Amino acid sequence: MTKRRNAVIDEECKRIRAENLKLSSDLAAQRQLLEKESLQRMNYEHQAQALIEECKLIASSNNVKLDKYKYQDTTEENRAIFRQGLLEAIAEIRKLYDEDTSKFRSEMESWYSKQVIEIRTSSRHAADASNTKEKVKQLRTQLTEMRTNLANLEGRNHILEKLIQDLNYQIDDESRVTMAHLSEKDDEIRAVRAQCQAITVELEKLIVEKVNLDAEISKYRQLLEGEENRTHGRVISTASHSFGGGAQSSVHVRSSAMHRVTAANRMEGQRSAQGNVSILDVASDGSSITIENTSVSHDEMIGEWRLRSFGGGRDVSFNFPRGFVLTPKSKVTVYARGKGVYAPPHSLVFEAEDSFATGGDVHTYLYNDENQVRTNEPVSFIARHNSELAHPVPLCHKCRVLLNANAS
């Protein structure tokens, strides 16, 4: 903006200088014209003086001639004629002189009027030129001040640009340091998360093992108590039989125990739940899992909850849709792909998998949106029903010893 204003001021100064030069040349021309007219006036005055002298000379010569003729011509008639002619000649000369004088006077008056007008005009131009010079001087002063201010501003701008550059370098350095710290923190967070995940998996395995062991111990305890009762009764009732009959009864007891263990065609497990949502049923073939809201008055928001089923070398997770609501005393069944019909809110289909986890040791967990376990159902597959052929339950060494001792 300042450079543009300086350019405008320079253009105005150039225009004023050109106009001043023009006015100076005009003034010099007018002065030359004035001198020329003054010389012409002096010439005209000399010519008029010469004419006057000539007229006086002619008049004196005529007077001499008249005197001569007066002395020579003494007649009254000749005197009258001569006087008349002389008066006429004098009148004509006077007339010519008056005409020349009037013409010269008018020319001189016109010339003087023009000169006065030109002088006045030149005076005004001179005043304008003086004012213009003053304005030019002021503009030059302003231009000098502006150039000084511009130099100061450019110096300050250079300092500020250097400061900005230094700040940018500092910001870049701090950004690199910050990014390095953030990267280290991210690595630490990932390491901690990995540790937490490993601890969580290990804890889940320990919980599952504990639940399985508790369930197995409970079943074996019930089985042992039942076998003890039956053995005790059978010993009392067969005390009078022979040794061969006793051995046969022992074999019968063992066979009947195995038959009772294998008579159930189901998935046995122990449920635990935190809250109103629990796992109601898990299909043995991995086709579906049913969730139930046990509350009689409260809705349960299970949107984005995760249903996890793992076992048999598989780990399958299903996320409930966002905003999914389980009303009081209602159930929702999650089917694997191709195993059921999609009819929310009563049934959903997991399109990503064709079945949930299956096998002899299946565990099912339900996590909320904060990845907290809300309910779990560790499930152990016992056996299929077969009335003719029973498969023994895999037992630990201590349980086998106890069973053998009771049977014997």
Q: What does each C-alpha distance from 250 to 230, 288, 349 come to in angstroms?
A: 11, 43, 52
pLDDT for position 66: 60
- Each residue of 258-293: pLDDT tens digit? 333 333 333 444 445 567 888 988 998 889 999 999
What is the average pLDDT across 19-44? 87
Q: Which of 155-159, 342-346, 369-373 has the lowest mean pLDDT?
A: 369-373
Confidence of residue 236 (pLDDT cuts 50, 70, 90): very low
What would the two tokens of residue 170 be?
């500092």
Inter-CA distances, 222 with 4, 226, 236, 265, 403, Å: 105, 6, 21, 19, 12
What whole-number distance in Å separates Cα of residue 376 and Cα of residue 379?
Answer: 10
The closest alpha carbon to 339, from 352, 322, 326, belongs to 352
Task: Identify whether the C-beta of residue 348 lies closer than 8 Å to the C-beta of residue 247.
Answer: no
pLDDT at 206 over 50: yes
Tokens (6 digits) for 79: 């005197």
Residues contacting residue 345 through CB under 8 Å, at least 6 positions apart? 324, 325, 326, 327, 330, 332
Is the domain 267-381 a CATH 2.60.40.420 member?
no
Which helix (H) or strand (E) segment holds residue 128: the answer is helix 76-237
- pLDDT tens for 92-128 read 888 888 888 888 888 888 887 888 888 888 777 777 7
Place of tokens 């049977």: 407
Q: What does the CA dihedral 399, 400, 404, 406 come to, rounded to 10 degrees?
A: 10
Q: Looking at the whole model, is its pTM more than 0.85?
A: no
Nearest Cα to Cα of residue 300 among 327, 332, 334: 327
Residue reference for tokens 């079945």: 355
DSSP string computed for 73-85: ---HHHHHHHHHH
pLDDT for res 319: 93
The domain ranges of the chain are 2-159, 267-381
CB 332 within 8 A of CB 319: no
CA distances from 314 to 247, 263, 356, 358 (A): 46, 28, 8, 8
Q: What is the mean pLDDT of the chain?
A: 77
- pLDDT in the model for residue 244: 38
Query: What is the band of 199 on the pLDDT scale with cuts at 50, 70, 90?
Result: very high
pLDDT score for 382? 35
User: What is the CB neighbour count within 10 angstroms for residue 368?
Assistant: 17
Task: Give the span between the Cα atoms of 177 and 183, in whole angstroms.
Answer: 10
> Residue 290: in which H helix or E strand, if any?
strand 288-293
Q: In angstroms, rounded to a whole number, what is the distance separating the alpha carbons of residues 71 and 224?
A: 207
DSSP-assigned states of every residue in 366-404? EE-TTS-EEEEEEEEE-----SS-PPPPP--HHHHHHHH
Q: Which residues contact 266 (CB under 8 A, 6 or more apart)?
A: 284, 382
What Å distances lie between residue 295 and 331, 348, 368, 402, CA to CA? Answer: 11, 21, 17, 44
Report pLDDT digits (tens) over 350-365. Answer: 999 999 988 777 889 8
Pick from 57-61, 265-269, 363-367, 386-390: least confident: 386-390
Query: Distance (Å, rounded) from C-alpha 215 to C-alpha 221?
Result: 10
Q: What is the pLDDT of residue 274?
A: 66
Question: Residue 29: what pLDDT?
Answer: 87
% of the chain at pLDDT higher than 70: 77
The residue with greater pLDDT, 243 or 49, is 49
pLDDT value of residue 324: 92
pLDDT value, residue 98: 86
Does 408 score more than 50 pLDDT?
A: no
